[in-house]
Amino acid sequence: MEYRTLGNTDLQLSAITYGAFAIGGTMWGGNEKKDSIEAIHASLDNGVTSLDTAPFYGFGLSEELIAEALKGKDRTKVQILTKFGLVWDGSNAGKGAHFFDIRDNGQNLSVYEYSSKANIIKEVEESLKRLNTDYIDLLQQHWPDVTTPIDETMEAMETLIRQGKIRAAGVSNHNLELLKEASKTLVPASNQVAYSMLNRAIETELVPYSVENNIGIIAYSPIERGLLSGKYFQNETLKSDDHRNGYFGQFDLDKMKTLLKTLAPIAAEKNATLAQLVLRWTTLQKGVTVVLAGARNAEQAISNAQAIDIDLSADELHAINSQLVDFKK
């Protein structure tokens, strides 16, 4: 595994970081607890030291599963990354900006973006309890909140750093304008953003600015929630409540198939899967510090971790990049 320094901090994160969205079950058609915990254990056993989660993932379940998986482990050798700023019914209900509505476990819930100082302090205490830890390595604002001044949000994280409850502060889903505004109060350690072969929008503005200002980029959805693995072109089916039924519809699948045909022989030569090749490509892109890779069982977790071992030459990277067009419909 490769380990990389995150932005302007002393945090060393594994280049492949475990993404714990799916194990929360919400929007992913449920979860299997045993498989989820085994996936985390397999990640740790194969060099992955960083785990990225959020209160929204399973409405607390993802954080609780991480806590259970880490029982008996050396906490100092694991970096826990979590978030704040998405609240739902029963948790500051109706405050902030309405984000979306969702049905989960038979309940209709309204989710809001809310990053007031009071809410951040509240959410961190709740996360610390669910995670069964006394500090968070990286706390990230999950989504921007137009109802709260950015300086209030960043000042709250400064306070948490001074208190020792978090080691570093980051943001997520921030465009260049918001990132600059946040930096006036506290330069974020990182910005977690969507980035993949199919979605390279950050390369134009965010990457140059982040590199120049030593702000780490945490890339999420590198495999586009499984689409770039190729298995959904092989009669793979999704549960009816899996959000990917709609998510995949944004892409031109014919162009996708052409890309995968180009990638397949490169992956085969490396004795790798398409997903592993895609993950490794992502770790090698300019400005990217770490790449999030979700896994719902041990087999997937091991495969993700082993992606870092793939050697891609400059010529091979160029060959791949030459095939990357606009894949959106």
Give the pLDDT score at 147. 96
Distance CA 2, CA 48 (A): 9
Residues marked as catalytic: 57
Distance CA 178, CA 312 (A): 34
CATH code for the domain defined by 3-225+282-297: 3.20.20.100
CB 112 within 8 A of CB 95: yes
Closest by CA position to 80, among listed 43, 46, 30, 122: 43
CA atoms within 13 A on the CB side of 54: 19
pLDDT digits (tens, 9 = 90+) for 249-302: 888 888 988 999 999 999 999 999 999 999 999 999 999 999 999 999 999 999
Average pLDDT estimate for 311-327: 94
CB 12 within 8 A of CB 288: no
* In the predicted structure, residue 244 carries a pLDDT above the cut 90: no
Task: Specify the residue for token string 């809410």.
Answer: 119
Q: Which residues does residue 288 pair with via DSSP β-bridges, in sequence order? A: 217
Decide: residue 239, CB within 10 A, 0-12 exposed, 13-18 middle, 19+ buried: exposed
CB 324 within 8 A of CB 318: no
Distances (CA, A) of 228 to 50, 52, 173, 224, 241: 23, 21, 21, 6, 21
Closest by CA position to 215, among listed 3, 5, 1, 68: 5
Structure tokens given for 19: 């993404």
* In the predicted structure, residue 242 carries a pLDDT above the cut 90: no
Distance CA 79, CA 11 (A): 8
Closest by CA position to 298, among listed 16, 42, 25, 30: 42
Rounding to the nearest 10 degrees, give the CA dihedral for residues 304, 282, 315, 211: -140
Average pLDDT estimate for 95-116: 88
Average pLDDT, the chain: 93
Question: To the nearest whole percent, how much of the chain has pLDDT over 70?
Answer: 96
Q: What is the three-class DSSP state of 86?
A: strand
Distance CA 250, CA 276 (A): 23
* In the predicted structure, residue 23 carries a pLDDT above the cut 80: yes
CB 16 within 8 A of CB 305: yes
DSSP 37-49: HHHHHHHHHTT--
- CB atoms under 10 Å from CB of 1, counted, come to 14
Distances (CA, A) of 98 to 25, 103, 111, 179: 22, 15, 6, 22
CB 147 within 8 A of CB 98: no
Average pLDDT estimate for 112-124: 96
